[in-house]
Amino acid sequence: MFEFFYKHLQPIAALTNEEKIILESAFIIRQVPKKVKLLQEGKTARELYFIVKGLIRLFYTKEGEEITGYIFKEGLFASSYESFLRQTPGIQTLETLEECDLLTISYSRLQQLYEEIPKMHIIARKVAEQRFISAQIMLSSFILDSPEERYKKFEQEQGDLLLRVPHHIIASFLGITPVSLSRIRKRLKK
């Protein structure tokens, strides 16, 4: 369980054995079934999740519709960052798309960790930085690309998700309707 965690932290910051022991006491292993809401819109995110196995999606609710904002996969820290970082209620919901193996940590325990393991600051900053850059790339794709181009890029970079995630969820992630996604796929097949 933790080996996978360390493998992903390795390139960011090397960890000593002492630090690993602290981490293993701080993060709680949790198995979560499919379709479980980890965070409800309107609530404050109290936890951060490192995904060892499974998928979590973040979505907004608009006029009764669920509109996907992000799909977290293995090796990522999933959370509603706005809500978690500011400890205020947000408009995002988190839900598992598959059965998940998670490493969970609370906001308050994370603050302790910052003091116990100073290196944690670096890790947190780099993770946030990475997340920011990822948001920036997505944003630029919305500004620069047509829905069809956006789908093509998605296919190249996250094609595996096409097999794991219902297409109507991917459609809303790309900012289009399922109908339009289906048409784009048909168009590209030829």
Partner DNA sequence: CAAAAATATTTACAATTGTTAATAATAAGG
Partner DNA sequence: CCTTATTATTAACAATTGTAAATATTTTTG
Chain contacts with a copy of itself (rule: CB under 8 A): 60, 62, 67-69, 81-82, 85-86, 125, 128-129, 131-133, 135-136, 138-140, 142-144, 172-173, 175
Exposure of 88 in the CB half-sphere (CA atoms within 13 A): 2
Query: Pick from DNA, a copy of itself, none: which does 172 bind, CB < 5 to 8 A by kind?
Result: a copy of itself
Per rule CB under 7 A, is residue 168 in the interface with DNA? yes
**Residue that has been written with the tokens 């992000």 in this structure:** 70
Binding residue (CB under 7 A) for DNA from 11, 115, 146, 190: 146
Provide the greatest CA pair distance for the chain: 57
Near DNA by CB under 7 A: residue from 119, 147, 152, 155: 147
Nearest to 79 by CA among 128, 31, 125, 115: 128
At closest approach, how far in Å is the CB of 119 from DNA? Answer: 40
- Provide the token pair at 27: 């993060």
Residue 182's binding partner out of DNA, a copy of itself, none, with CB under 5 to 8 Å set by partner kind: DNA
The binder of 178, among DNA, a copy of itself, none, by C-beta within 5 to 8 A per type, is: DNA
**HSE on the CB side for 102, CA within 13 Å?**
26
Per DSSP, helices labelled H in 1-146 are: 2-9, 17-26, 81-86, 107-116, 119-144
Q: Choose the one of a copy of itself, DNA, none that binds residue 147, judging by a C-beta under 5 to 8 angstroms depending on kind.
A: DNA
